[in-house]
Amino acid sequence: MLREQDKTYYHLSRRTDELKVFWSHSWHGSAQSKILVLLLMYNGFAAIFVGNLVALTAVALSSYGLLPGYEWSPILEPEEHYIAAPWGVSLGCLSALITLIIWRPRSTPIFLDRACINAEDHTMQMQGILSIGAMLKQSESMLVLWDTTFVERLWCIFEIAAYLQSHKGREQSLVVRPTALGVSTLAVFGLTAFRSSVQVVISYSDLDPAKAAMFNVVVTGFSILFFGLTASLFRAHFASLETMQAQLSSFSMKDAKASCCSLGHVSPSGVPVACDRVILTECIEKWFGSVEAFEESVQTQVAEALKKSMGDRVIFPRAWLVGVAIPAFWATLDMAASRWRAGETAKGNVVLIRAVTWWLGGAPLVLSLASGLGHIFRKRRQKVCDLAITGLMGVLMALMFAGIAGIQIVLEEGMQNLEAAVVFLVIVECLLCLVLRPRCSGKAPAFDARRGHTTTDLGQGDRC
């Protein structure tokens, strides 16, 4: 539906007494990116839940020796020998990706222009367009699928400005998700899975000192590359966010683009097309009083709402941080299973606590700090200098990761393993809450793809 702009899907629409979510997006952005973000928003929880269930089952079976394995030695204990295999991380990732694609979420009333406005009947189309204001006011929340073309489109800006105008005091019901977030999420998820799996796949006792040293160099280099690619994604996000703020601060209705004007008000089939700019000008004057008041609202209220919802320092919401880091949890559980399989329950329990720490604390902490670095180094420069900055960020992220691991090692040298693991968990979670203070204090946006919000009654005079 999001791929084919010229087709209408009005036959898929139905009457409803409420609208949970109004989807606002630019038809000039990448359809694949929008679909991926929607899959993650609506199917992400189910994907992680199913992946976790499958991974935990595989780890349990492996710990009882019901799944095959191979002789393996951990990096910090090369003298120890266990039977291990990456069953948890491999089956967990596979089942999560399959669930992400095939899961069907609970039906939720939404507004999508292509389905809710009949483009094949001119009279009904005009009625639908003139009723956009009422639909916006009746919607309990708005989801903006943002890309760099969004702020250029007159319709997109009108939708978000009108929504905020009719939902004053409920700005938290506006949720903005950059379409690039989908690609970034899967990229970080995949790289985390690969990096974590290496520790389970490679047996360090099979490597002589020279090969072990070379392997460590390769792993370090890959880690820096992984962090560098992540840093590049973060920098690109904050650079586009800064561009958006600049565009909104100087927004002018006459400079905003409308598809009808680009086509010369004639459809590809030669049928005359009404001018959206004329229709929207009438709507704007009724809703905002004047075009100038509308432009001021875009430059201030809309700009601030978008900045707040997108995050000016942290890209990933806390739930997404936990989701993209979960392969590290599954891989570490595979290591714990090798200890349980050998009858070393205490050692396995310590590794389990480490797994929880890195999943819910360590990995999100590194990604959050890296997000802050992405904001600091967001400005693009000449190619060589730009690559150097991205590489520097990769090194800094690797050092952050090493620093957290160093805390773990120091604690384990000075305390009993179980006590050290618990203290490490507390320290890392406290550090994460310091970095994510707004989210830890419960100020995150209230939008949930599976739930609605307080109903907004449709008043009189909401038609444009």
End-to-end CA separation in angstroms for the chain:
26
User: Phi and psi at residue 397, in whole multiples of 5°?
Assistant: -65, -40
Domain boundaries, the chain: 18-439
In which band, very low, low, confident or very high, does the pLDDT at 446 lie, cut at 50, 70 and 90? Answer: very low
Which residue(s) pair with 197 in the sheet? none
- pLDDT of amino acid 304: 87
- pLDDT for the residue 386: 86
Secondary structure, 3-state, 374-403? HHHCCCCCCHHHHHHHHHHHHHHHHHHHHH
DSSP state of 259: H
Is pLDDT above 90 for 317?
Answer: no
Q: Calculate mean pLDDT across residues 161-173.
A: 83
pLDDT, tens digit, for every residue of 246-282?
888 888 888 888 877 776 777 667 777 777 788 888 8
32 membership: H or E segment, kind and range:
helix 31-63
399 or 51: which leads in pLDDT: 51
Distance CA(415)–CA(413), nearest Å, equals 6
Q: How far apart are CA 217 and CA 199, in angstroms?
A: 14
Token pair 């700009």: residue: 303
Structure tokens at 291: 């075009």
> For the chain, percent helix, then strand, then coil, each to nearest 5?
65, 5, 25
What mean pLDDT is reported for the chain?
81
Instruction: Give the pLDDT of residue 76.
Output: 67
Q: What CA–CA distance (Å, rounded) separates 255 from 133?
A: 22
β 19-25/139-146 pair status: parallel
DSSP lists the bridge partners of residue 72 as 82
Cα 234 to its chain centre, rounded Å, is 12
Q: What is the pLDDT of residues 325-360, one digit of tens each?
A: 899 899 999 999 999 999 999 999 999 998 899 888
Q: Which of 15-24, 91-100, 275-284, 346-355 has the highest mean pLDDT?
A: 91-100
CA dihedral 152, 154, 155, 157 (to 10 degrees): 70
